[in-house]
Structure 1
Amino acid sequence: MTKTIKITPFADQKPGTSGLRKKVPVFQTPGYTEAFIQSIFDSLEGYAGTTLVIGGDGRYYNREVIQTAIRMAAANGFGRVLVGQGGILSTPAASHLIRKNEAFGGLILSASHNPGGPNEDFGLKYNVANGGPAPEKLTDAIYSRSKVIDRYLIEDFDDVDLDRIGTFEAGGMIIEVINPVTDYAELMETLFDFDAIRAMIAGGFRATFDAMHAVTGPYAKEILVRRLGADPALVLNAVPLEDFGGHHPDPNLVHAKALYDTMMSADAPDFGAASDGDGDRNLIIGKGVFVNPSDSLAMLAANAHLAPGYKAGLKGIARSMPTSGAADRVAEKLGVEMHETPTGWKFFGNLLDAGRCTICGEESAGTGSDHVREKDGLWAILLWLNILAVRRQSVSDIVNDHWATYGRTFYSRHDYEAIESEKANHLMKALEDRLPELPGQSVGSLTVERADSFTYHDPVDGSISRNQGLRILFEGGARLVFRLSGTGTSGATLRVYMERHEPDPALHQQEAQAALAPVIEAAETLAGIRERTGRDAPTVIT
């Protein structure tokens, strides 16, 4: 029986770049989750009788919201729901399922790399029929609807047994609980040379992977261990936990320090990697060498032809604006298109759908290709393994060869987390007001060449996205970018991105923070971070 429940709108349901993210107690507010889901459904057209994919990263409150979403999908007229067993579904796997099953769209329950638990973060986003995140036009419509919504629709039936694979019927809708890994693993086998990777591992190559007690544990056990023969003892933290074991499932050098320390040790494995809460990010570390995500994107693009799925070459490369220009040099050498977009995977979707790029990535450890419409952590890891198997070189050798060919782009990101929103906004406003006067000014040893607020003109649909970050470009190619992140739930995170290109191989082995010192100093001089935020140092440096 369909119930119509009266509600009062909530004022804070504006989706960010990755949907709506709030603390669990906020989503537990009576009617809150239902209001947002109904706002999504009310903003869609033509979905009656179609398929909806539902799944999440296994964090706290995942199962409860999935049950609500299934009942509401039935009440609103969907004909079929596909849901991952146990409520588990990595974000890239969800994207693949939407595409493979020609679903109308999908609800993905995740707060990505944010902490999980009863008082931690929860998230919910809608992906469209191409498998990618909802475009701005749709998220704007969802927000507009959320401000006036006065009711939601829900069917009254028992909870679905999410742990039992099978097909069920309830509320006039078909519910299929599926293995969350199988379809994704089969897709990976079409893209990469599993025989070559398996032979490399059988020959003594050691690969370790940290699933961070998040969604990729089951995927890693199936693909890395069962299909490729990796040592199961080297697949770490493989059981998804609602609180991620009390850890922060963000694959960076702070939260994955144990993996980093292992890879820097004398007896390190040949290759180390990690993924995040929902499986769309990656960390790549070779024996004694960390590969920053901007460099990883460039190196994957330069070597992608070594994998069967990309042997025909690339149609183009795309990167988010804050990502370093390392990939630009690869695109230039390959003679393919290079696109600079705002942060947020939805901006890559148009380019991928139009055949304007094959590989894309963001400096925040997200890399992907046209196989899905989300970033994909395990995909990047498997492409690295494929490259290593074909080139028969170490990670360090591949990194140094790349730098010798293209030059090294020194790069770093400084995050100042949980700043009072008012202070963060004042800092950005003050800096933006100064931008017109900066060209020609000297800042330490650097001279400003150009400064602007990044505006993106989509070459496919002609849409314009303004205010996507503040850019300060210096003579000689160094660059500073300032952004406020939309992925947190407490205060604001100020992200400062610094880069400098160095063509001379004799200088490539400098430590990145030392090589970037003039740019780091310029950031403080221009933005007054200490004075305006009270922070003496970044929370995280990557």
Structure 2
Amino acid sequence: MTDRAGTVAQESDLIDVKALVHAYFTLHPDVSIPEQKVVFGTSGHRGSAFDTAFNEDHIAATTQAIVEYRTKEGITGPLFIGRDTHALSRPAETTALEVLVANGVRALSDEFDGYTPTPAVSHAIITYNRAGHDDQADGIVVTPSHNPPRDGGFKYNPPHGGPADTDATSWIAKRANEIIEGGLRDVKRAEPTAVETYDFLGNYVDDLKNIIDLEAIKKSGLHIGADPLGGASLSYWEAIRDRYGLNLEIVNPVIDPTWRFMTLDWDGKIRMDPSSPSAMASVVARRHDFDILTGNDADADRHGIVTPDGGLMNPNHYLAVAIQYLYANRPGWRDDAAIGKTLVSSSMIDRVAESLGRELLEVPVGFKWFVPGLVDGSVAFGGEESAGASFLRFDGTVWTTDKDGIILALLASEILAKTGKTPSQLYVELTERFGAPAYERVDAGATKAQKAALGKLDGDAIAADELAGEPITAKLSHAPGNGAAIGGVKVVTEDAWFAARPSGTEDVYKIYAESFKGEEHLREVQREAKKIVDAALG
């Protein structure tokens, strides 16, 4: 960690916005270079125009590939498109619209030319498709989420409204790279004059009463702080305040593509991560000014919860509290609706699920795994340790199938209004019942070959039968909840576990670890985890 973490960005930390946009239009990728290809991770294609990794050619080709994918899949309805506040988002949205219009796709952008959170796009897709039309809608969100200001991002959401699965993104990326390699000859483009509009904000905000008890929040008079962190949720928080009469203050109503008002993240970069204590330092400093204070990232698919008594909550802690509260206070949900978590999330959630008598659906990293359950109501809540989650409406029907940081932030106010206790106080109560786990993610160096081997490693390849003094009870390479490959391994004992996964962007692998026996035992788990994984990799 740099000693500047948590300090306000300086002029030397800021991007040159004009230079970045110029690079978007003038640099052309060579897809024989891996770093310049279209590559979809768990949240779309991301990169910087400065690195020739997110440029006009990428977006034109990817949009054309999406058009062809829609044709292949028989998707003929409207395509909802939204963008966040990153500097590259507007030019990329314009490029995409040029291609969509030229191909005769009915594209719908924001009615007020505003910024659009990821959950608002997911909500729009689901709203259209549940209305009984003869065709189906899908969408594009132009965002790199919480990534630094130099980056751009481009996500495709098919008709289920959530992140596209690997089959779809692999096909789209492969075709996009073929198009770039072919000199963009297959790309159709036209002036985007035939673009329709959609009131993303109005439809989303008006519907919030069907998922959050906003009347209870209003009656409580809670003084709420909401920090959009310079992102797409700014106008949404203003509308929520006005529409529902909340005592809500926008902590920082500034949008600036350099994000000069942010405090630096752990590595000295500007990163709009609402779960990072360093990135949220200026927000946390105001925790005593509000009864509850929240933050969102640039596309509002993540949340950060700040309380006067506990500061910034660890995302795992808040997920456990949210689950405990929701399953006890949503009688319209199915009695057999499961609790969804990624396998690198805290085992506190396992213990809460068991106490509630609910099935636990443990899946690989990636919100896409929760989509089928959220759609049919068999999973009422899906959450990731990286502060992304969504849940069902009061009546047990689907709200969004992508992460929604706005409803998770509002839920913190509902919890305080209805229970009289902050989420951090409720988490302390959970630890008194189930124990207090120590959790941390660390990185370990790995070559590309080692990363590739780890991604395909079978649990049976792990020779160890003990971890930090406890017998190993499970060696997993596939998620218990759905049998899908986890792209790494997870090793479990009665009181601890670790999971190891290769990084998609750096020459490291990530070790997630947790112990219910304290910090010292966690360190022992981490040390042995590295030895176990290194031995398995050979």
Q: Under TM normalisation by the shorter chain, which class is it?
A: 0.7 to 0.9
Does the C-alpha gap of structure 1 residues 122 and 448 become closer, same or farther in structure 2, counting only changes over 3 Å?
A: same
Q: In 2, distance between residues paired with 1:496 and 1:230?
A: 41
2:485 aligned residue (454, 466, 474): 466
> 2:336 matched to 1:352?
no
Counterpart in 1 of 2:119? 92
SS in structure 2 at match of 1:142 = helix
> 2:373 matched to 1:373?
no
Counterpart in 1 of 2:475? 451
Q: What whole-Å deviation, never above 9, does each CA across 1:264-321 have from its counterpart, x for those lacking one? A: xxx4533222111210111112223143222222211111156568576671110011
The code of the aligned residue for 2:158 comes to V
- Structure 1 residues without counterparts, runs of 5 or longer: 1-6, 160-169, 459-463, 503-511, 533-542
SS in structure 2 at match of 1:97 = helix
Does the C-alpha gap of structure 1 residues 313 and 84 become closer, same or farther in structure 2, counting only changes over 3 Å?
A: farther
SS in structure 2 at match of 1:375 = coil
Assess if the C-alpha contact under 8 Å between 2:415 and 2:422 holds in 1.
no
Counterpart in 1 of 2:251? 236
> 2:292 matched to 1:271?
yes
1:322 aligned residue (322, 339, 344): 344
> 2:58 matched to 1:40?
no
Q: What whole-Å deviation, never above 9, does each CA across 1:233-262 have from its counterpart, x for those lacking one? A: xx2233333233363101111211222343
TM-score in terms of structure 1 length: 0.79
Q: In 2, distance between residues paired with 1:184 and 1:236?
A: 22
SS in structure 1 at match of 2:90 = helix
Q: In 2, distance between residues paired with 1:216 and 1:30?
A: 26
The code of the aligned residue for 2:381 comes to I
The code of the aligned residue for 2:477 comes to S
Bigger shift: residues 338-347 or 396-405: 396-405
Does the C-alpha gap of structure 1 residues 197 and 442 become closer, same or farther in structure 2, counting only changes over 3 Å?
A: closer
Alpha-carbon shift at residue 51 of structure 1 (Å): 0.4
1:331 aligned residue (350, 353, 356): 353
Does the C-alpha gap of structure 1 residues 415 and 367 become closer, same or farther in structure 2, counting only changes over 3 Å?
A: farther
Q: In 1, distance between residues paired with 2:355 and 2:361?
A: 15
1:407 aligned residue (411, 424, 435): 435
Assess if the C-alpha contact under 8 Å between 1:76 and 1:154 holds in 2.
yes
Alpha-carbon shift at residue 34 of structure 1 (Å): 0.9
The code of the aligned residue for 1:454 comes to H
SS in structure 2 at match of 1:469 = strand
Assess if the C-alpha contact under 8 Å between 2:80 and 2:125 holds in 1.
yes
Alpha-carbon shift at residue 447 of structure 1 (Å): 4.7
Alpha-carbon shift at residue 113 of structure 1 (Å): 0.9
Q: In 2, distance between residues paired with 1:436 and 1:423?
A: 17
Assess if the C-alpha contact under 8 Å between 1:88 and 1:215 holds in 2.
yes
Assess if the C-alpha contact under 8 Å between 1:55 and 1:108 holds in 2.
yes
Q: What whole-Å deviation, never above 9, does each CA across 1:498-529 have from its counterpart, x for those lacking one? A: 11236xxxxxxxxx745633323334544579
SS in structure 2 at match of 1:223 = helix
> 2:200 matched to 1:199?
no
Q: What whole-Å deviation, never above 9, does each CA across 1:66-92 have from its counterpart, x for those lacking one? A: 112112112222134233633511001
Counterpart in 2 of 1:112? 145
Assess if the C-alpha contact under 8 Å between 1:480 and 1:498 holds in 2.
yes
SS in structure 2 at match of 1:98 = helix
Does the C-alpha gap of structure 1 residues 48 and 321 become closer, same or farther in structure 2, counting only changes over 3 Å?
A: closer
The code of the aligned residue for 1:97 comes to A
The code of the aligned residue for 1:471 comes to K
Q: In 2, distance between residues paired with 1:485 and 1:425?
A: 8
Alpha-carbon shift at residue 424 of structure 1 (Å): 6.9
Counterpart in 2 of 1:285? 306
SS in structure 2 at match of 1:336 = coil
SS in structure 1 at match of 2:122 = helix
SS in structure 2 at match of 1:108 = strand
1:156 aligned residue (182, 190, 214): 190
1:249 aligned residue (257, 269, 272): 272
Counterpart in 1 of 2:160? 130
Assess if the C-alpha contact under 8 Å between 1:105 and 1:131 holds in 2.
yes
Does the C-alpha gap of structure 1 residues 441 and 303 become closer, same or farther in structure 2, counting only changes over 3 Å?
A: closer
Q: In 1, distance between residues paired with 2:473 and 2:480?
A: 20
1:219 aligned residue (220, 233, 236): 236
SS in structure 2 at match of 1:244 = coil
> 2:102 matched to 1:66?
no
Q: In 2, distance between residues paired with 1:326 and 1:481?
A: 16
Aligned residues: 477
Does the C-alpha gap of structure 1 residues 76 and 455 become closer, same or farther in structure 2, counting only changes over 3 Å?
A: same
Counterpart in 2 of 1:57? 84
Does the C-alpha gap of structure 1 residues 186 and 485 become closer, same or farther in structure 2, counting only changes over 3 Å?
A: farther
Bigger shift: residues 97-106 or 79-88: 79-88
Counterpart in 2 of 1:540? none
The code of the aligned residue for 1:477 comes to D
Does the C-alpha gap of structure 1 residues 432 and 51 become closer, same or farther in structure 2, counting only changes over 3 Å?
A: closer
Assess if the C-alpha contact under 8 Å between 1:410 and 1:516 holds in 2.
yes
Assess if the C-alpha contact under 8 Å between 1:56 and 1:110 holds in 2.
yes
Q: In 2, distance between residues paired with 1:73 and 1:309?
A: 43
The code of the aligned residue for 1:18 comes to S
SS in structure 1 at match of 2:80 = strand
Alpha-carbon shift at residue 466 of structure 1 (Å): 2.3
Assess if the C-alpha contact under 8 Å between 1:59 and 1:244 holds in 2.
no
Q: In 1, distance between residues paired with 2:366 and 2:209?
A: 27
Counterpart in 2 of 1:481? 499
Alpha-carbon shift at residue 324 of structure 1 (Å): 1.3
Does the C-alpha gap of structure 1 residues 304 and 377 become closer, same or farther in structure 2, counting only changes over 3 Å?
A: same
TM-score in terms of structure 2 length: 0.80
Does the C-alpha gap of structure 1 residues 257 and 405 become closer, same or farther in structure 2, counting only changes over 3 Å?
A: same
Assess if the C-alpha contact under 8 Å between 1:438 and 1:451 holds in 2.
no
- Structure 2 residues without counterparts, runs of 5 or longer: 1-27, 130-135, 263-269, 392-397
